[in-house]
Structure 1
Amino acid sequence: MAPRFFVLKDEYRGVHDAEFGRIDDDDNVDEAARCPRCGDFIGMLPWLPPYRVTLDLYGQELGDFMRGVGNSLVSERFAEAFRSEGLRGLQDFHPVEVRRVRRQRRGPKPAIVPGYFLVTPVFGSAAVDEARSRLRRNSLITCDWCRLTGVDGIYGFALEQGSWNGDDVFIPRGLSGTMIVSERFADFVARHGFTNMTLTPTEEYKWDPLRRGPPPSTQGGQV
């Protein structure tokens, strides 16, 4: 059977709904990685230490995962289990210093603030299959490796058979803003009961901010 994949997002408006903000200055970054073929940037500017954050809590308590732009936070218990079970695809695991927790809705502040690590998913562990995906791209793909274009809508997608290298968490070539996880990762989350994570099968995932609906299937996602 072909492997299954899922889109990983945090649980918006859930019990563990929270966001993190960086405490740094604009110079506290390194140069972004570039595509080995076309030379275009393929990620955000890497954040350099010290890693200091504030947490905005919208739910009732802090959970195991908070997604940001380019980076995410995972709890100490998640980090320990991920590494001990040999999962792949998250880089670095830098400990962060939580300077402040701000309550954004009514309720008490959390009694316990977990230890958190900053992680970055790898890019390029698999490629989007354009023929089996329904995407609204706002420009044509010009590089067959990074496949970076703007995307106005996602209406289910698939990954190219044989392109996956076995990583359990990654950003696919062709959908730079989407975090994908393996079936093994989905089982890992369920067994440990990790919180603030939603997993949607890639073929069922929809993102339609412009409400344009899916493109004609004959166009293979290119509009």
Structure 2
Amino acid sequence: MASEAQPTPRFFVLDEDMFGSHGTRFDKAEPINRGDAPRCPPCNKVLSSLQWLMPYRAELELYGKDFGDFVQGSGNSILISERMAGGFQAKGLSGLLGFHPVEVVRVARKRKGPKPAEMPGYVVVTPCFGSAAVDVKRSRLRYNEPVTCSECRSAGLDSVHGFVLEPGTWQGEDVFHARGIAGSIIVSERFSEFVTRHGLTNMKLIPTEEYVSDPLRMGSPDAAFVNSDED
């Protein structure tokens, strides 16, 4: 009897929900120590901003009525509440690195209203750079230069109008950066279910095939611009 085909994994882009009831952002507070930025081993291209190193001190900006479980700022590191961190680890989810406590030195409220509930404790985590790669030929991407490195697949990416991951490249991480679209945080369906089940806040989960990023308002491309050395 032939085995049943396995369902195709679903992935989501993780973004902040700044206009929701738990909109929260953070800035690093002095002293700010930084380490080297991660680079692609074969081509040496910089993959993200400089690493944030200890001591971890932050200032929060509260835009919603209450504090969020997920908090973004500048750079590759994010803050998550201790509640979210504990649930993530208890569930056996993977892909977040660090889990170092953060000292919040200041909270700036950006809207009027009742005093928020007690601020949760936060930890700093960094999404890993996973093995998963964007399937350039099956995604709607607009480039201003060709993809030349088959490892990082980085290039001048102007806009994204939906994308999929190349089959067989994902190795099971639940939170990660994918090769070819390192600026976005991608999460698994298991992570999405975890967020829903625990009612975690200040997050939007956008299916990758529906994700749009077009800061220059160039519109959807008719086809992907592919011109790598490997073709």
Q: Which TM bucket (shorter chain)?
A: over 0.9
Kept in 2, the 8 Å contact 1:73–1:119? The answer is: yes
Distance 2:18 2:105 in 1: 23
Q: Paired residue for 2:4? A: none
Matched, 1:188 2:194: yes
Q: List structure 1 segments (4+ residues) > 6 angstroms apart after TM superposition.
A: none
User: TM-score of the superposition, structure 2-length normalised?
Assistant: 0.91
Deviation of 1:180 after TM superposition, in Å, equals 0.3
**Letter of the aligned partner of 2:67 in structure 1?**
L
Tell me the equivalent position of 1:44: 49
Is 2:134 aligned against 1:134? Answer: no
Normalised by the size of structure 1, how large is the TM-score? Answer: 0.94
Counting only pairs closer than 5 Å after superposition, residues 138-153 of structure 1 correspond to structure 2 as 138-153=144-159
1:109 CA drift (Å): 4.0
Unaligned runs of 5+ in 2: 1-6
Once the two structures are superposed, the pairs formed by residues 142-221 of structure 1 within 5 Å of their partners are 142-217=148-223, 220-221=224-225
Q: CA RMSD in A?
A: 1.4
Q: Tell me if structure 2 keeps the 8 A contact 1:133–1:221.
A: no
Displacement of 1:104 in angstroms is: 1.1
Among 28, 32, 39, the residue aligned to 2:37: 32
Shift of 1:108: 3.8
Secondary structure, counterpart of 2:37 in structure 1 = coil
Q: Which residue number corresponds to residue 76 of structure 1?
A: 82
Q: Secondary structure at the match of 2:54?
A: coil
User: Aligned pair 1:88/2:78, yes or no?
Assistant: no
- Could you tell me whether the CA contact under 8 Å between 2:18 and 2:63 is conserved in 1? no
- Give per-residue Cα distances to partners, 1:9-59, cap 9 Å, x unaligned: 010211111110001246x11112221211222222111111000101111
| Residue 83 (structure 2) pairs with residue 64 (structure 1) | no
Q: Percent identity?
A: 54
**CA distance in 2 between partners of 1:96 and 1:138 (Å):** 39
Aligned residues: 220
Per-residue displacement from partner, 1:99-139 (whole Å, max 9, x unpaired)? 11111121244231100011100113300000110011222
Partner of 2:3: none
